[in-house]
Amino acid sequence: MAERRLFDGIVQDMALRSAGFIVTVYGDVVVPRGGVLWTGTLIEVCERVGISESLVRTAVSRLVAAHRLRGERLGRRSYYRLDASAQREFDQAAGLLYGAEVPPRGWQILHAPDLAEDEARHQRMGHMGGAVFIRPDRGQPVPPGALAFRAADPPELDRIGQFWDLSVPHRRYLDMLARFQPLAQAGAALSDEMALIARLLLVHDYRGALLRDPRLPQDALPADWKGHEARALFRSLYRHLSPAAERWIGGHFEGQDGFLPAQTAESRARLAG
């Protein structure tokens, strides 16, 4: 009962959107296990977090229209796989979530007159004014039509954070810590099903903050920055939940050829990362 109350509190506080949570299910569970899932399994998993079957079907239709998922039929059953056009985006998100942190090699300063403000934010660039943008240099490709300059750390590194609005990812990290630290501190063994649901909620929450984080070097961050603490909690809790969660996956997630494997080389590589 205490377990259920804890999860109900997390779910209510997160105000999940069906399409976003479905993306999390595919990114964390389905993609590293062949990429195909039976609709019935997806409906069952989403029901556990309060997302109804009608909302699932509507969200899946929208994801198909947006070329994120692609449907297939086998007999009377419907299956969905990740659309090829979304693979690069999923791979990038997986690299951020499960891979080792890549330290920047200085900075990219971009003169990009054709770059829209929304796209610059999507790529987590800081806006220096006019058509000039900046971001940590991790070898990202230069946007079409932009002129790029590469620079070492400037002498006033502690002031460079002013070119980003860090309040949004910072708030999200604080919220994530408040939601999931009690689960980590409880230390109780969860059922296999609840371990899976907890892991999906954890990934969903952390991804929402991480994909808005420009991942600035330490000296450019505010003193109260919670990103590193959130990352440590994510990694520790993800590892703790995974053995039970993977048992549930192997016995309940159905693809075209039967149940998905509990583990694959790709899923093991994520844990090792």
Mean pLDDT, 10 residues at a time, the chain of 273 residues: 70 89 96 95 96 96 94 92 86 89 89 88 90 92 89 77 91 95 78 93 95 91 94 95 96 94 94 86
Dihedral sign for Cα atoms in the order 184, 27, 90, 33: positive
Query: Distance between CA 135 and CA 120 in Å, rounded?
Result: 10
Query: Distance between CA 135 and CA 216 in Å, rounded?
Result: 8
pLDDT for the residue numbered 2: 59
pLDDT for the residue numbered 1: 55
pLDDT for the residue numbered 200: 97
pLDDT for the residue numbered 255: 94
pLDDT for the residue numbered 11: 83
Residue of 199, 196, 195 whose CA lies nearest to 233: 199
Answer yes or no: are the C-beta atoms of 49 and 197 closer than 8 Å.
yes
pLDDT for the residue numbered 38: 97
pLDDT for the residue numbered 3: 63
Residue of 122, 97, 104 whose CA lies nearest to 231: 97
Query: Distance between CA 232 and CA 227 in Å, rounded?
Result: 9
| DSSP string of 188-216, one letter each residue | PPPPHHHHHHHHHHHHHHHHHHHTT----
Going from the C-alpha of 115 to that of each of 110, 111, 184, 254, the distances in angstroms are 10, 9, 42, 42
* Assigned token pair, 175: 């919220």
Strands (E), the chain: 36-38, 69-74, 77-82, 107-111, 126-129, 132-136, 147-151, 254-255, 258-259
* DSSP symbol at 6: H
pLDDT for the residue numbered 9: 78
